[in-house]
Chain A
Amino acid sequence: MNNRLKVLRAERNWSQGDLADKLEVSRQSVNAIETGRYDPSLPLAFKIAELFELAIEDIFVSPSKEA
């Protein structure tokens, strides 16, 4: 699933490791989510959204709305 995670992370000058620590997941998880190779569960998606103080749909692009 496409997402803006990398951009949002870069805006805050966070490394993948920093984001992983904040989300309490592995850096590999952050990498897989950022590159769209893994779609997070709903609880993890909410955790990401709450960390960035955004709605889930502001971070993740709905597959039905992808060009």
Chain B
Amino acid sequence: MASSPANRRYNKRVIVLSLLYAAFLLGAVYAFKHHLLSGPAAWIAAILPALAIIGIFAAIGLYLVEEQDEYLRMLMIRQTLWASGFALSIATVWGFLESFELVHHVESYYVAVLWFGGLGLGTCANKLTIGRGR
């Protein structure tokens, strides 16, 4: 992705949220492993890493709102479409395979992991099609 003021803000937000995600996740894993939490505190600790991931989704949305360059905005929209199609397709196939007990259960948060992987796929698709400009 090319660097624009909106892109720089997006990168900063994603870095901060990624650090928060790592901190929340490590904290939650430690606390649950040592049985330090129960009741509402356990729920909050379990949800905090998810909130950081949701923050990254929001950062992408903010980027699309703030990006003044229509071409760069379109590239990101294409990336998110690829990501959504990729993640939802795999999740759907896996869901059916799991229903028929052909594969083991996978935690649903892996859909987000697939979606972020799909963003990378979208970057490749952009470069192979319209985004070849250096």
Give Cα distance in the complex from A33 to B132, angstroms.
12
CB atoms of A26 and B130 under 8 A apart: no
Q: Does B101 lie at the interface of the complex (its beta carbon under 8 Å from any beta carbon of A)?
A: no
A-B contact count (CB 8 A): 39
CB atoms of A32 and B131 under 8 A apart: yes
CB atoms of A29 and B71 under 8 A apart: yes
Residues of A within 8 A of B107 (CB): none
Beyond A38-B71, A44-B70, whether A26 also contacts B134 by CB under 8 A is no
A residues with a Cβ closer than 8 A to B are 24-29, 31-33, 35, 37-38, 40-41, 44
B residues with a Cβ closer than 8 A to A are 2, 4, 68-72, 74, 129-134
